[in-house]
Structure 1
């Protein structure tokens, strides 16, 4: 028969409400009473749930993870790293898919007394930043660089990675290079523009279209690019999922890759390996980044902001002109 909170109260010779207040870290008892109740809880092996056990030690051993509406495969590889490292360090993980409700889910995690929060590829705005600071719970941003010094991050150098991806295409002889971008004006777009500029290549408005990092937006984006920029010979996509959509649309239009148009993606998820033809892409170590996010959150004294290396993985979607 399991031990109940009433058993604890009876043995400690205190009221049920006193035990409840101690478990929930509320005022109304002496330090002596608190120590006595905690001792009884340990003796009886009382374990109501993970949260209540953690509250006795001021920790729930639970980490919250906020995931936006980005590529499922991109997120899943980071989550694999987060969950494995959390398990190793004795933590549980609570995952929330935010879409456009970041503030609401932050509140949910606070109410569940998580020990810290990992935000996956979330660009913080002023409102969200102020909400985080006011709650005084540790937060780490992974796969996005924080614009606020108080919020540590785990990421690659997205600007440099994009610059090198476009330079790779230029070195292959391509000059008319379109871009399927995500967030307007972000570091990936800036890297594309600087690579074009340094090669003395002009950039016109119709050379860049925007998607939402998903497969479907790759299809619609490629349709627009072909309409607006028919002379292009190569496309830089800021996610493998969108690159897969680009490949799909080109196949439907009977446009051969890489014979007619070369494609380079970004992330090196399993999508890149499974694409037909296999996708040349910028690789970032998503699993390791997820692991480091947990380490940074749990042991901040041992690890600071970390920028991971990237590399271009050559497969079969880029040809030399």
Structure 2
């Protein structure tokens, strides 16, 4: 079996330098780092993770709680996370989050992971405190809707600013009233509630009327399409001029329902979404949406999670966002 000492001898460096490279330390010259990495690949060196975890009391594993692996928005985040985790020597495993099974996370993760990454889920205070006592930090991508005292640090865009940009654009196009398609109130522990609050506040500040609040149980293409198709078939006349959707999958479903019923977009109804997944640029017409910087999330999250694992304190992070204006509102 190839050892760290074998790598050091072949590369002409000390064992400590090999360790620095393996742990992605910054105190190694780039030329030396590349030489060590080349030897690691040449010798097919694989560190003994079990021995390492026994020595350091760390598993090098992180748990990521997901809502829906089939959602392209979440999939894009996970790809970014996985890339950055590998670069830092961490392994990820994904666990579907179900609110009514939150208690089982304690036995599932205790002693098995070094940290937990949320995708905007709201954990109970008792669960958060339990993991803190276990020395397992928690960090969230997207602000949890219930985070009293902000016990869980997070990164997110400024949804208030983003919604305001969207409403300023809609007003410039002559739209004064909207409907909003979002998650059912029973899902209010989900990160969508943060977007809901931001939209309502921005609408008030920009003097945009919210004529209808449309809530559905599942926030995907199929649900939006079928719900709106039935709604608009039963009530073909509506007062609002634009339909805003809490995510792009539902915005795409709304555009499809408009096509089916012969509602011209944006002439009869403007449509806008959130997240800027690939689908939003591929529909016809292409969908105006709030861009979410998924590509930058992996490194920003792993940097802060690593700091938490090392015992440091991290602050909340606000990422840059922008409005992507396309055909559904122009």
TM-score (normalised: structure 1): 0.75
What SS class does the counterpart of residue 170 from structure 2 fall into? helix
CA distance in 1, matches of 2:65, 2:174: 41
Partner of 2:109: 109
User: Would you say the 8 A contact 1:121–1:142 is kept in 2?
Assistant: yes
RMSD over aligned Cα atoms: 2.8
Question: Does the alignment pair 1:123 with 2:122?
Answer: yes
Unaligned runs of 5+ in 1: 3-46
Q: Which protein has the larger Cα radius of gyration, Structure 1 or Structure 2?
A: 1
Partner of 2:219: 213
Question: Does the alignment pair 1:243 with 2:254?
Answer: no
CA distance in 2, matches of 1:217, 1:49: 47
What SS class does the counterpart of residue 262 from structure 2 fall into? coil
Cα offset for 1:155? 0.9
CA distance in 1, matches of 2:155, 2:301: 6
Assess, with a 3 A threshold, how the Cα gap between structure 1 residues 143 and 262 changes in structure 2: closer, same or farther: same
Greater Cα shift, 95-104 or 289-298: 95-104
Cα offset for 1:286? 1.6
Cα offset for 1:143? 1.7
Q: 1:274-306, CA deviations, whole angstroms, 9 ceiling, x for partnerless residues?
A: 222211100010221232111111024485321
What SS class does the counterpart of residue 293 from structure 1 fall into? helix
CA distance in 1, matches of 2:132, 2:277: 33
Cα offset for 1:257? 1.6
Partner of 1:313: 324
TM-score (normalised: structure 2): 0.73
User: Would you say the 8 A contact 2:225–2:257 is kept in 1?
Assistant: yes
User: Would you say the 8 A contact 1:209–1:221 is kept in 2?
Assistant: no
Cα offset for 1:51? 4.2
User: Would you say the 8 A contact 2:275–2:291 is kept in 1?
Assistant: yes
Question: Does the alignment pair 1:282 with 2:290?
Answer: yes
Assess, with a 3 A threshold, how the Cα gap between structure 1 residues 102 and 169 changes in structure 2: closer, same or farther: farther
Partner of 2:18: none
Partner of 2:194: 187
Assess, with a 3 A threshold, how the Cα gap between structure 1 residues 172 and 195 changes in structure 2: closer, same or farther: farther
Aligned residues: 274
Unaligned runs of 5+ in 2: 3-45
CA distance in 2, matches of 1:177, 1:262: 9
User: Would you say the 8 A contact 1:196–1:203 is kept in 2?
Assistant: yes
User: Would you say the 8 A contact 1:139–1:152 is kept in 2?
Assistant: yes
What SS class does the counterpart of residue 150 from structure 2 fall into? coil
Q: Which aligned runs of 4 or more in structure 1 are off by greater than 6 angstroms?
A: none
